Amino acid sequence: MNSIVPADGEHVAIVERGKEDLDSLNRFLKRVGEQDERAIVLALAAFIEDTLGGLLIAYFRDCKATRELVNGFNAPLGTLSSRIKAAFSFGLSTEDQFKDLEILRKIRNIFAHDWEGVSLQRNDIAAMIGQLSGYTFDDKAAPTGGKELLLLSLSNCCVELYLFKDRIESGKASKAPDVSHRLTTTPPAERGRTRYVK
């Protein structure tokens, strides 16, 4: 049993995984909280983008078409924006996660396209941070704003999505249901059994 340490350093979750499986997540969460504001925002967005890409690949059919859809030059699901929308559309993220990730995307865009005068305290950015869900694993009260709320809400999304991806990859959560069919006059051999993509 190993624990996951969020960006604020507080113990929040125990999962049954090997140490090596959680090292990259723990390293990221520990380091992100130590960065300046720009680095925090850009690192959270990059980690989420990568995790969502892995989650979509784990969930979809294991084939070249899936990899081309998610990765590579001009991949339709190759951007943070498209991955956030796809994950929500396919039921891989909750509505609160979707809203939090959309807020992160908007804040990331501000930081990425303005080289000076950007701060989490800027009115428009502070207002967006104030709209984050503040979801906590243990139902403790969330901070009311600023860097602490940003780190809490989005590091929790990082943990949840990363572990969900891992559960699909390890067969503990289902892949996409296979709803494909062909027209035939022969009745199906099996009825009522859900098939999953391979």
194 located within any domain? no
pLDDT given for residue 117 in this prediction: 76
List helix spans (H) across 60-145.
64-70, 80-89, 95-113, 123-130
In sequence order, which residues have a C-beta less than 8 Å from that of residue 46 and are 6 or more positions away? none
135 located within any domain? yes
Cβ(158)–Cβ(44) below 8 Å: yes
CATH number (domain holding residue 131): 1.20.120.330
pLDDT given for residue 20 in this prediction: 57
* Count of domains observed in the chain: 1
106 located within any domain? yes
124 located within any domain? yes
Domain enclosing residue 148, as ranges = 40-169
Q: What pTM was estimated for this model as a whole?
A: 0.84
62 located within any domain? yes
16 located within any domain? no
Residues 99-151 pLDDT 10s? 999 999 999 999 998 877 799 999 999 999 999 999 988 888 888 888 999 99
CA 165 to chain CA mean position, Å: 9
What CA–CA distance (Å, rounded) separates 130 from 135? 13
118 located within any domain? yes
User: Which phi and psi (to 5°) does residue 2 adopt?
Assistant: -130, 155
| pLDDT-based confidence at residue 27 (cuts at 50, 70, 90) | confident
105 located within any domain? yes
Residues 74-87 pLDDT 10s? 999 999 999 999 99
